DNA sequence: ACCTGAACACCGTTCAAGT
DNA sequence: ACCTGAACACCGTTCAAGT
């Protein structure tokens, strides 16, 4: 390679890729996790994807934990801002369902968010504005406090089921206690021993798809999520109307 | 070392430790995770703890995933069997609070259980007998199915809060959206900027410890867990009494 | 046939050597 | 002063060599 060729190549490379910055690192990390799963996301693999040497990443994130913090903020930032409307239940419901759609787009996000030791700025902002919806809906600060706890990670759209549904991608975001029922009853030639050993689970599995669809797990994740969400919102509203306070 | 000494030492070693078996491997793994946290549990470290060569473990568990499955079963096996009694709400409540106590003893267990791709035998048995409590309480199979989904991982005593409370050990089992509020307001000299940026969170934090205790996070995890649990059980009972069915 | 040391293909991060 | 290749201390698991 001549000196001129080398210069050309260097120029070409520097023009064809924008110089590395935090934003680009985070976006590449999110994209990599989306396509290959969170387990395959390593600093080395990410560097390779960005066509830089691994150590180059450490100029933009202090370490892998900070990378994961940044990815969390990027994902939480995708959640729709709270809408306007007179009905606080509708507003909070719409926002949480938006969060759920975001988590479904990024199946790895639930586990990453749960693994953060503290809330990131975007999460704090999300929690603050969501608390505001409850407060403006007439719930006392006391009740809102316990409501936020009761919602727990469901606030961010987590399914919080026990096991990943068969269909879910890689690093299970949604899961399925009654669905494990379904697996027991529906997977291949149903072992008669299982239905005998777990009679109640077998019964639940039957209840889940005696309708039109008999294929697959048989559980409608969206239905189950909204069932629990509405049950909780119902309960919150009832407590508000009763003027509930924690006794202390 | 003489030949006799070598024989003695070999004999001593073989008598002072029972020969390795699956049971002993699992118990050592649980103990190691309890004391050092789940992140420090590696096949190599576990082998070292048992005073064997790493490869010796692979005769008793196929791989690390199977080790984690076994640890899950060991922990879930610690949950009290369902008690007897006419009040299904009391029975299911007591059982779930027992599960919660078990998880508090093994702070790593929640994350390990969540990471299982499918239910282990002990989990299936737990879910089956818990579904049985609901069924015998008069809930239809249909309602019980959705109830199990709505409970999600809370069935196994998971706190399901967003972030680990400051006090919780290592691999966060319990967490705290409103508690993150508390951290914001309570940590050190409260940055006035934070309360302005997150006014609702600041308000919740204030609501959480305007009582007697002002120290620490200020949240009573046990209270929050039971608040949500009872809210859900209330809702289930109400649906049962209304003869609720999913429309399909 | 059984057991196991060395090796393989990784990992996050440190650090010193090179420019 | 900046950048980065090599190195460090790990990891789960394979595999072939040794008994």
| Three-state DSSP class for residue A160 | coil
| Three-state DSSP class for residue B38 | helix
Protein-covered nucleotides on strand D (Cβ within 7 A): 3-6, 10-15
* Whether B149 and A206 lie within 8 Å, measured CB to CB: no
Q: What is the pLDDT of residue B167?
A: 40
* Whether B127 and A234 lie within 8 Å, measured CB to CB: no
* Whether B145 and A178 lie within 8 Å, measured CB to CB: yes
| Three-state DSSP class for residue A110 | helix
Q: Collect all residues with Cβ–Cβ distance below 8 Å to A133 and sequence separation of at least 6.
A: A82, A88, A91, A92, A95
Mean per-residue pLDDT, A149-154:
95
Q: Any atom of strand C under 7 A from CB of B17?
A: no
C-alpha count within 13 angstroms, C-beta hemisphere, residue A38: 20
Query: Are residues A183 and B208 in contact, defined by beta-carbon separation less than 8 angstroms?
Result: no
For residue A156, the chain B residue with the least C-alpha distance is: B162
Query: Are residues B187 and B126 in contact, defined by beta-carbon separation less than 8 angstroms?
Result: no
- Comparing every residue's Cα with the C1' atom of nucleotide C11, the nearest one is A42
| Three-state DSSP class for residue A77 | coil
Q: What is the pLDDT of residue B17?
A: 54
Q: Any atom of strand C under 7 A from CB of A116?
A: no
What DSSP state is assigned to residue B20?
A: P
The overall average pLDDT reported for chain A is 83
| Three-state DSSP class for residue A203 | helix
Q: What is the pLDDT of residue A5?
A: 42
Query: Are residues A138 and A238 in contact, defined by beta-carbon separation less than 8 angstroms?
Result: no
Q: Which of residues 49-68 of A touch strand D (CB under 7 A)?
A: 52-56, 58-59
Q: What is the pLDDT of residue A57?
A: 96
* Whether A141 and B219 lie within 8 Å, measured CB to CB: no
Q: Collect all residues with Cβ–Cβ distance below 8 Å to B2 and sequence separation of at least 6.
A: none
Query: Are residues A176 and A216 in contact, defined by beta-carbon separation less than 8 angstroms?
Result: no
Q: What angle do CA B86, B87, B89 make, to 5 degrees?
A: 155
pLDDT-derived band at A2 (thresholds 50, 70, 90) equals very low
Q: What is the pLDDT of residue B182?
A: 55
Q: What is the pLDDT of residue A192?
A: 62
pLDDT-derived band at A163 (thresholds 50, 70, 90) equals confident
Burial class (CB in 10 A: 0-12, 13-18, 19+), A197: middle
- According to CATH, what is the number of the domain A1-61? 1.10.10.60
Q: Collect all residues with Cβ–Cβ distance below 8 Å to B93 and sequence separation of at least 6.
A: B229, B230, B233
Domain residue spans of chain B:
1-61, 86-241
Nucleotide nearest to A58 (CA to C1'): C13
pLDDT along chain B (248 residues), means of 10: 42 52 95 96 96 95 96 97 95 98 96 91 96 97 96 93 56 44 49 83 78 53 95 97 88
User: How many other CB atoms are there within 10 angstroms of residue A92's CB atom?
Assistant: 24
pLDDT at A115 over 70: yes
Whole-number Å distance between alpha carbons of B133 and B136: 5
Query: Are residues A236 and A143 in contact, defined by beta-carbon separation less than 8 angstroms?
Result: yes
Query: Are residues A225 and A159 in contact, defined by beta-carbon separation less than 8 angstroms?
Result: yes
Q: What is the dihedral angle through the alpha carbons of B187, B190, B194, B199, rounded to the nearest 10 degrees?
A: 100
Instruction: Choose, out of A152, A156, A187, A211, the residue to mutate when testing the contact with B (most B CBs < 10 Å).
Output: A152
Query: Are residues A28 and A49 in contact, defined by beta-carbon separation less than 8 angstroms?
Result: yes
Distance from residue A181's CA to nucleotide C10's C1', rounded to whole Å: 37
Backbone angles phi, psi at A175, to 5 degrees: -155, -170
Task: Go through B146-164 and write b for each residue having 16 or more CB atoms within 10 A of its CB, e for each that does not.
Answer: bbbbbbbbbbbbbbbbbbb
* Whether A246 and B231 lie within 8 Å, measured CB to CB: no
pLDDT at A9 over 50: no
Whole-number Å distance between alpha carbons of B225 and B222: 5
Model confidence over A43-54: pLDDT tens digits?
999 999 999 999
Q: Which tokens in the block code for residue A231?
A: 């049950």
CA neighbor of A45 nearest in space, from A58, A32, A35 = A32
pLDDT at A70 over 70: yes
Distance from residue A48's CA to nucleotide D11's C1', rounded to whole Å: 21
Q: Model-level pTM?
A: 0.86
* Whether A151 and B177 lie within 8 Å, measured CB to CB: yes
More confident residue, B211 or A81: A81
Distance from residue A59's CA to nucleotide C16's C1', rounded to whole Å: 18
Q: What is the pLDDT of residue B207?
A: 77
Which of A123, A125, A180 lies at the smallest CB-CB distance from B119? A180
User: How many other CB atoms are there within 10 angstroms of residue B84's CB atom?
Assistant: 6
User: How many other CB atoms are there within 10 angstroms of residue B81's CB atom?
Assistant: 10
Whole-number Å distance between alpha carbons of A201 and B141: 10
Query: Are residues B101 and B226 in contact, defined by beta-carbon separation less than 8 angstroms?
Result: no
Q: What is the pLDDT of residue B180?
A: 56
Whole-number Å distance between alpha carbons of A205 and A219: 9
Q: Any atom of strand D under 7 A from CB of B63?
A: yes
List, in sequence order, the alpha helices (H) in chain B.
Answer: 3-16, 22-36, 43-49, 64-76, 88-105, 109-115, 121-136, 141-151, 177-186, 192-197, 199-208, 221-241
């Amino acid at each position: 390679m001549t000196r001129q060729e080398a210069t050309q190549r260097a120029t070409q490379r520097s023009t064809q890729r924008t110089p590395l910055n935090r934003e680009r690192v985070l976006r590449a990390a999110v994209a990599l996790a989306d396509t290959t799963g969170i387990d395959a996301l390593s600093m080395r693999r990410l560097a390779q994807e960005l066509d830089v040497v691994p150590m180059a990443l450490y100029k933009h994130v202090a370490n892998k934990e900070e990378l994961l913090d940044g990815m969390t903020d990027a994902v939480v930032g995708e959640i729709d801002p709270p809408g306007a409307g007179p009905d606080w239940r509708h507003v909070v419901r719409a926002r949480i369902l938006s969060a759920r759609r975001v988590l479904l787009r990024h199946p790895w996000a639930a586990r990453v968010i749960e693994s953060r030791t503290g809330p990131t700025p975007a999460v704090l902002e999300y929690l603050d504005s969501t608390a505001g919806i409850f407060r403006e809906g007439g719930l006392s600060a006391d009740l809102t406090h316990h409501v936020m706890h009761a919602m727990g990670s469901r606030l961010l759209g987590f399914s919080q089921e026990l096991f990943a549904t068969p269909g879910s991608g890689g690093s299970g975001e949604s899961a399925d206690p009654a669905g494990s029922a379904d697996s027991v009853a529906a997977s291949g030639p149903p072992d008669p021993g299982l239905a005998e050993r777990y009679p109640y689970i077998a019964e639940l599995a039957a209840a889940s798809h005696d309708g039109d669809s008999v294929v697959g797990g048989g559980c409608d994740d969206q239905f189950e999520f909204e069932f629990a969400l509405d049950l909780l919102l119902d309960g919150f509203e009832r407590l508000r109307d009763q003027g509930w306070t924690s006794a202390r």
